[in-house]
Amino acid sequence: MNSKLAPLEGKVAVVTGGSNGIGAATARLLANEGCKIVVCYNTGEARAQQLIAELPGADHRAIALSLADGASARILAERVRDAYGRADIVINSAGFTHPIAHGDLNALTDELFDAMLIANVRGPFSVIRALNPLLQESGDGVIVNVSSVSGTTGSGSSIAYCASKAALDTMTISLARVLGPKVRVMSVAPGAVATGFVAGRDRGVLEKLAQSTPLRRVVEPGDVARAIFAHTFLNLGGDKTIEARAPKAAVLMHRWFEEEIKRRRSDGQLGTDMMGALLKDRLLDDDGVRRTLGGMLVGSIDTTATAVAKIIAILGSDPKLRKQVYADRNDSTKLSMWCLEALRLWPHNPLVLRQASVDTVLSGTDVKAGDRVVAYTQAAMLDPDIFPEPELLKPDRPLSSYLHYGGGLHPCAGRAINDFQITTLVGRLLERGIEKTGRIVWAGPFPDKLIVHFSRKRA
């Protein structure tokens, strides 16, 4: 962990169910970003103690928590206040299920039904209720409830589990309304996750279940942790420390561009790169060159790297799709549409944050000037009214339906650059014969590494 770059330095995160699975992966990720971690466990004390000993940073703790006992949540809050004097993040990852065939109503006893509702709904509520005062004092508190696609699909380990996750989703919406703006409340809903959460569910079963999800692959705990981290990393709360880093970085970049442009002008060696081409063309003055290249560094490179990595990862996991896209590799228009379709399942930017400048109404909801509005572009691009059969990739859909680089009257200025770069890079990689890919290794919100296996050598 580099404390100078850790975006969550000094914050305290309470992770229920933190001793294994999604909770443990989230604890590791948040600790790596500077958080002090409270790992809450029920029966896994040894795992929890081992985990906090392995976490980067210092002053992590393991605290027992029973989701069935409201007093246990109150004791947790007291211990967190005594130890840290604050709590900024709560991850409700703990839960319970018992696999029961949906058609076997008699096997789903009252006791099992109650146990799942307590663990998956009442328990998280008790934790939130107990820690809410500390989160409110933080001024930028975050609560992430780990839900499941079962809450919306009605398909899962048992009917009671599906019902409990649907209830958790509804509770999340209600709490977000009443606890904001000082505390943000949201949920993540993973599908087939490779943990031991559901007894008797082996890898083969997970692979089969994954085919009904948009990505058509088994999700690892680290994938869910990244989704959770995205909620806490985004500066939706206007954290002043994070805001202060942006102008400092801008000053350094501005200075470098000015000095480099001046050096090239004085030497007469303008270079053969993009800066050199812009300086030679003289279509822009030196400040225009700086702003153009600065914009590419800030937005286009990250967008292109993220989009290409996600597209290649999707193609690497689906041989049938890969064959279809390979057939169109030399048709830039069709290949571009394939890229847009792949990104529809796994967008480079699944949500967009905006602030209303004037009072308005969106779908019957009053929005006041200054309100923050979150547009869930990924959900919109899975809307069957706009994308019939959204689970299928079809390169002949209307271009205007996609929201990857803005839409309507507000497209991103880098749309043409992104489309050219992404399509070109994907095409070149397809030419080498993609056989399979590994998993993307992430550096914060951006891809750091993706291992791709090819059938042909580079020309």
Residue 442 has pLDDT above 60, yes or no: yes
Residue 309 has pLDDT above 80, yes or no: yes
**Which domains are delineated in the chain?**
12-238 (3.40.50.720), 284-454 (1.10.630.10)
Q: At which residue do the structure tokens 């271009």 appear? A: 399
220 Cβ contact partners less than 8 Å away, ≥ 6 residues apart: 25, 193, 194, 439
Q: Most confidently modeled of 3-7, 189-193, 290-294, 315-319?
A: 315-319
Tell me, yes or no, if 405 is annotated catalytic: no
Q: How far apart are CA 142 and CA 14, in angstroms?
A: 10
* CA dist 186 → 35, 83, 142, 173, 214 (Å): 19, 26, 8, 7, 21
Kindly report each contact of residues 242-250 with a partner whose C-beta sits within 8 Å and lies 24 or more positions away, as own/partner: 242/7
User: How many other CB atoms are found less than 10 A from the CB of residue 46?
Assistant: 11
**What's the confidence (pLDDT) of residue 454?**
92
Estimate to the nearest angstrom the gap between the alpha carbon of 422 and the chain centroid. 21
**What's the confidence (pLDDT) of residue 36?**
93
Compute the average pLDDT of residues 440-445: 73
DSSP summary character for residue 318: -
CA-based nearest residue to 80, from 147, 16, 176, 24: 16
12 Cβ contact partners less than 8 Å away, ≥ 6 residues apart: 35, 36, 37, 38, 80, 84, 86, 87, 88, 89
Residue predicted with more confidence, 7 or 184: 184
pLDDT tens digits, one per residue of 126-135:
999 999 999 9
**What's the confidence (pLDDT) of residue 97?**
83
Compute the average pLDDT of residues 262-277: 90
What the block records as the tokens of 337 is 């549409």
pLDDT tens digits, one per residue of 160-186:
989 999 999 999 999 988 998 889 898
With pLDDT > 70 as the criterion, what percentage of the chain qualifies?
81
**What's the confidence (pLDDT) of residue 5?**
39
Q: 161, 376, 402, 405: which one is catalytic?
A: 161
Q: At which residue do the structure tokens 């294994």 appear? A: 20
Residue 153 has pLDDT above 60, yes or no: yes
Compute the average pLDDT of residues 323-346: 94
Q: How far apart are CA 18 and CA 91, in angstroms?
A: 9
Q: How far apart are CA 161 and CA 163, in angstroms?
A: 5
What the block records as the tokens of 65 is 């928590």
Lowest mean pLDDT among 144-148, 168-172, 376-380: 376-380
Sequence length of the chain is: 459
- Cβ distance 233 to 7 under 8 Å? yes
Q: How far apart are CA 144 and CA 129, in angstroms?
A: 14
pLDDT tens digits, one per residue of 37-58:
999 999 889 999 999 999 988 8
* pLDDT band at 314; cut points 50, 70, 90: very high
User: How many other CB atoms are found less than 10 A from the CB of residue 42?
Assistant: 19
Residue 2 has pLDDT above 50, yes or no: no
**What's the confidence (pLDDT) of residue 170?**
92
- Cβ distance 356 to 369 under 8 Å? yes
DSSP summary character for residue 219: B
- Cβ distance 341 to 393 under 8 Å? yes
What mean pLDDT, rounded, does the chain reach? 83
**What's the confidence (pLDDT) of residue 429?**
94
**Helix/strand/coil for 356:** coil
